[in-house]
Amino acid sequence: MQRRNSRLLISAGLTVVGALTLSACGSGSGFSSDSATTGGELTSDSSQGLSVLIGSSGDAETAAVNAAVAAWSKTSGTNAEVSVASDLNQQLAQGFAAQKPADVFYLSTDALAGYASNGSLLAYGDNLANKDDFYPSLVSAFTYDGEFYCAPKDFSTLQLLINTDLWAKAGLTDADIPTTWDELATVSATLTTGSQVGLALGSEYARLGAFMAQAGGSLMNEDSTEATANSPENVAGLEYAQTLLNDGVMSYASEIGAGWGGEAFGKQLSAMTIEGNWITGAMTNDFPDVNYTVAELPAGPEGKGTLQFTNCWGIATDSPNQTAALNLVEQLTSKDAQLTFSEEFGPMPSIMSAAAEWKSANPALIPFLDGADYAQGVPIVQGAADVVSDLNAQLESLKTGNAQAILDSTQKNLQALLK
Amino acid sequence: MPARTPRRSGIRGGEAASGWLFTAPMIILLGMFLVIPVLMALWVSFSDWNGRGSPFSGSVAFVGLDNYSALVGGGGLAEQDFGTALRNNAWYVLLVVPIQTTLSLFLAVLVNRQILRGRGFFRTAFYFPSVTSSVAITVLWLFLFSASGAVNKLLSFIGVNGPNWFNDPSGVLHNIFEALGVETGPAVLTGNSFLGISFWEWLAGPSVAMSAFILMAVFTTSGTFMLLFIAALQNLSGDVVEAAVMDGANGWQRFWQVTLPQLRPTLFTVLTLGLIGAWQVFDQIYTGTQGGPGKTTLTPAYLSYQAAFTNQAWGQGAAIAFILFVIIVVFTLFQRWLLAERAVSARRMRWYLQTPTSGGSK
């Protein structure tokens, strides 16, 4: 019984134990906490090299970041080492608990509020030399409690992808590319045949939210201080999606046997999909024979709308050499570096000065970049990710559900976060 | 009892000290890596530690039962998620433990038979899934149970249109109710709730996605427990069975009345280990579905991880772990009580006494 109890104990505390053990070892350095806050002097212990922690999408990204960091290391004379996290959230959390975090790291919009509120993140945005060059929508995506925390690394937006062969086969021309909700419904119906559905997309807020944005709604107001999830605009957006689903002209990717919109589109189970610019990689690698074009999402009653997805370069408050870290981030978000990244592994540069060159290099993908002007981010408040995943769970049964009821529960959950 | 030695002296004097000395390495190791961390986690579950720096620094405050009450009575998303996770895992346990125990016992009896040819092969084959890493099996399962995967292909041969396993959040019981014409539950079930989800939702049964995980758990763990049962079966003395044969017991009776009661200690082990493993299901969820679809594969262990590592709600994460701990202990004690050896009741005794007169005549 003793041994079994031990097993129980091990696993009961397992999730926390790891971090705690580390923190116990690292608590000797606890005196440095709260010393470096915003506005104060940046630390600059140049005897220490920088560690950079990234969550890589593949070899191309790892190699590109490695090369960029190595180049910076050479010119600045500061050592810097890139490591690829297998589970970024977990490794970051362990680092923060031990007060020995990576100096510079990828940070998602979902994780921003949590780390910003517990003081792990350095709010260095205002110190950036190229601060005004970032798209305003991206700056607000990384602004928490009125402070611009970290430099947007790159971004993606959602747009409409159209299979040109199926489009032509259905007798449609360029003039038919939908610019309004009605037109989208019409072409989706035209493109729906026995073996394929007009439009397929993922069942989550990160796709359906585009319809809500086009109707003029959003989950929270721009600075995430007020929940607006059950606004009539959001309800209208969801009800539009619901109509398409019930008319059979739009399907969730999972319903037609695909893991995500891109797979449904690539396997030609659908003639159109709503996805971000990351889809281009999948199309080239997995479905090279499918011809497609990118169009802007049709405008809703309140004009154009889409969602944006972005990560930033976080810097740790506990980093002993924040000055060098800031310098590295400026280098990594510079025009040259971002255009190289874009070439190597496909993201869109987060700065406006790189837009013209990027557009000329990627003429087919211009709609994605144009989306930056009207794109909407996720709510920046601690716990919002949970609320969104709860919303996602409910959206899976949108077909038979009640849009108002779904959004009411989301509203209730978001309001609870603000108390 | 032998006469007590008045004083511990002479050759036996240092026994206690040596005893402590020899067990010291293990005590120190367990203390360092088990007892102390668990106590630390217990503290975290009562604190407002937010994941930065040491949980014992001055800035971390004691918040009493706040973390626990948010989970079991907060009325918010935390409670609802915890309720959902418990619901999912309860159904998982309810199905996995009995099925895997029965199946492993069945397999053990099967491969323990002397007349079976190639017993070694079957033993290895049945045990194989247990030695494969759960991550590898999960990935395999994701392929097998995809919408156009092998399982659905097989089902289509017999004319069944298989579900989209890992993307289907509908509860199995709800689906059965629906087939019987009950679309929504009675108001008494839908109107009242426990831990943030209505009783009707509690009765949803495992989702189709969770059912795939249930099949997987049965597939992977039955082999291990089969091994335990084989070991126990081989330890049974043949005399008792022989005596039963002489008394005219048939094969079925011999199994239920003679073999199975003798396996009680092993049965306890298997049930306890199965129960603990099933309540702590984590790897499959982490690699497979991350709680989806529709949160129907969320389990307390995964929720605890998610609360701590992705939401920075460390206190809540630790609290979930300790509630889970209490649940497991309670279940284990209950089961121990259930399987305890008891004096034969009068009713039962009567049955035994009647047996010689009525037995054998059939």
pLDDT class of A256 with cuts at 50, 70, 90: confident
In the predicted model, what is the mean pLDDT of chain B? 86
* Interface membership of A357 toward B (CB under 8 Å): no
pLDDT band at A397 (very low <50, low <70, confident <90, very high): confident
Angle ∠(B149,B151,B152) on CA atoms, nearest 5: 70
Q: Do A6 and B30 touch (CB under 8 A)?
A: yes
The alpha-carbon gap from A12 to the nearest alpha carbon of chain B, in Å, equals 5
**Record: contact A93-B51, CB cut-off 8 A:** yes
| Element housing B326 (H / E) | helix B314-339
A13 to chain B, any CB pair closer than 8 A? The answer is yes
Alpha-carbon distance of A292 to A272, in angstroms, equals 9
Contact residues on chain A for B291, CB-CB shorter than 8 A: 389
DSSP-based three-state secondary structure for B322: helix
CA distances from A193 to A162, A169, A196, B81 (A): 15, 11, 5, 40
Q: What mean pLDDT, rounded, does chain A reach?
A: 86
Note which residues in 218-247 of chain B have CB less than 8 A from chain A: none
Q: Which long-range contacts (CB under 8 A, 24 or more apart) does B58-64 make?
A: B59/A33, B59/A34, B63/B315
pLDDT band (50, 70, 90) for residue B125: confident
pLDDT at A194 over 70: yes
Contacts of B37 in chain A (CB under 8 A): 13, 17, 20-21
> Is residue A36 scored above 60 in pLDDT?
no
Predicted ipTM beyond 0.85:
no
Ranking A23-37, A113-127, B135-149 by mean pLDDT, the lowest is A23-37
Per-residue DSSP letter, A213? H
Which site among B40, B77, B148, B208 would you substitute to test the A interface, given the most A Cβ atoms closer than 10 Å to its Cβ? B77
Residue-wise pLDDT for B280-300, tens only, equals 999 999 988 888 788 899 999
Helix axes B208-235 and B134-144, enclosed angle (nearest 10): 130
Q: Which two tokens stand for residue A49?
A: 């090299």
Mutate to test the interface with A, among B27, B165, B306, B309 (most CBs of A within 10 A): B309
Q: Please list every residue in chain A whose beta carbon sits closer than 8 Å to the beta carbon of residue B329.
A: 8
**CB contacts, 8 Å: B41 with chain A:** 12-13, 16-17, 20
In the stretch 76-105 of chain A, residues with CB closer than 8 A to chain B read: 89-90, 93, 96-97, 99
Chain A, residues 301-340, CB within 8 A of chain B, namely none
Beta bridge partners of B242: none
| Tens-digit pLDDT profile for residues B211-249 | 999 999 999 999 889 999 999 998 888 888 888 888 888
Burial class of residue B329 (count of CB atoms within 10 Å of its CB; 0-12, 13-18, 19+): middle
CB spacing of B52 vs A396 below 8 angstroms: no
State how far the Cα of B76 lies from the Cα of A113, in Å rounded to an integer.
19
pLDDT at B346 over 80: no
Burial label, A196 (beta-carbon count in 10 A; 0-12, 13-18, 19+): buried
The percent of residues in chain A predicted with pLDDT above 70, rounded, is: 90
pLDDT confidence band for A3 (50 / 70 / 90) = very low
Contact between residue A17 and residue B41 where contact means Cβ atoms under 8 Å apart? yes
Please name the residue of chain A whose CA is at the shortest distance from the CA of residue B318.
A16
Residue with tokens 């199994």: B255
Q: What is the pLDDT of residues A313-345, one digit of tens each?
A: 999 998 999 999 999 999 999 999 999 999 888
Q: Angle CA(B328)–CA(B329)–CA(B331) in degrees, nearest 5? A: 65
Alpha helices in A199-314 (DSSP H): 205-214, 232-246, 261-266, 279-286
Helix (H, G, I), strand (E, B) or coil at B336: helix
Provide the shortest C-alpha distance from residue A183 to chain B (in Å). 30
Q: How confident is the model at residue B206 (pLDDT cuts 50, 70, 90)?
A: very high
Query: SS3 for A147?
Result: strand
Q: What is the pLDDT of residue B2?
A: 55
The reported pLDDT for the residue numbered A244 is: 95
Q: Which domains does chain B have, with CATH numbers?
A: 95-297 (1.10.3720.10)
pLDDT at B4 (0 to 100): 54
Distances (CA, A) of A263 to A157, A196, A274, A286: 18, 13, 12, 9
Amino acid at B302: Y
Task: Give the DSSP H/E element, type plus range, for residue B212.
Answer: helix B208-235
- Nearest chain A alpha carbon to B309: A90
List the single residue in A with minimal CA-CA distance to B31: A6
Contact at 8 Å (CB) between A387 and A413?
yes
Residue-wise pLDDT tens digits, A298-308 = 999 999 999 99
pLDDT band at B8 (very low <50, low <70, confident <90, very high): low
For B294, left (φ over 0), alpha (ψ -120 to 50), or beta? left
Decide: B107 and B315 in contact? Cβ < 8 Å.
no
Q: Which domains does chain A have, with CATH numbers?
A: 43-156+309-376 (3.40.190.10), 157-308+380-418 (3.40.190.10)
- Tell me whether residues A257 and B147 touch, CB distance under 8 A: yes
Query: What does the pLDDT average to over B146-167?
Result: 86
CB atoms within 10 A of CB B157: 7
Measured between beta carbons, which residues in chain A are less than 8 angstroms from residue B76?
Answer: 413, 416
Asked if A119 reaches chain B (Cβ–Cβ under 8 Å), the answer is yes
In angstroms, the separation between the Cα of residue B328 and the nearest Cα of chain A is 8
Closest-CA distance, B99 to chain A, in angstroms, reads 22
Which range (A370-384, B9-23, B170-184, B268-282) has the least confidence? B9-23
CA distance A92 to A95: 5
The helix/strand/coil state of A262 is helix
Closest by CA position to A5, among listed B184, B50, B336: B336
Q: Which two tokens stand for residue B306?
A: 């998610």
Would you tell me which residues 240-299 of chain B have a C-beta closer than 8 angstroms to some C-beta of chain A?
272-273, 276, 280, 291-295
* A6, HSE (Cβ side, Cα atoms, 13 Å): 13
Residue B209, C-beta contacts closer than 8 angstroms, at least 6 positions apart: B165, B166, B167, B168, B169, B289, B292, B293, B296, B297
pLDDT confidence of residue B362: 41
- The runs of H, that is alpha helices, within A248-379 are 261-266, 279-286, 322-332, 335-345, 355-361, 366-370
> Between these two residues, A174 and B353, which has the higher pLDDT value?
A174
* Predicted local distance difference test score (pLDDT) of residue B120: 81
Min mean pLDDT across A143-147, B158-162, B278-282, B325-329 is at: B158-162
A399 CA to chain B: closest CA distance, Å? 13
Is pLDDT at B360 greater than 70 in this prediction? no
Is residue A205 less than 8 Å (CB to CB) from chain B? Answer: no
Of B6, B318, B168, nearest to A203 by C-alpha is B168
In A, which residues are within 8 Å of B273 by CB distance?
Answer: 4
Place of tokens 């709609």: A367
Residue of chain A whose alpha carbon sits nearest to that of B320: A12
In percent, the amount of chain B with pLDDT more than 90 equals: 33
Quote the minimal CA–CA distance from A194 to chain B in Å: 17
Q: Ranked by mean pLDDT, which of A6-15, A167-176, B168-177 comes out on top?
A: A167-176
Q: Can you tell me the distance from the alpha carbon of B126 to that of B220, in angstroms, rounded to the nearest whole number?
A: 9
Please check the confidence at residue A293 and state whether its pLDDT lies above 70: yes
pLDDT (tens digit per residue) in B81-92: 999 999 999 999
State yes or no: pLDDT of B278 exceeds 60: yes
B253-259 contacts at long range (C-beta below 8 A, 24 or more positions apart): B255/B109, B259/B109, B259/B233
Task: State residue B295's pLDDT score.
Answer: 87
Sign of CA dihedral A182, A184, A188, A190: positive
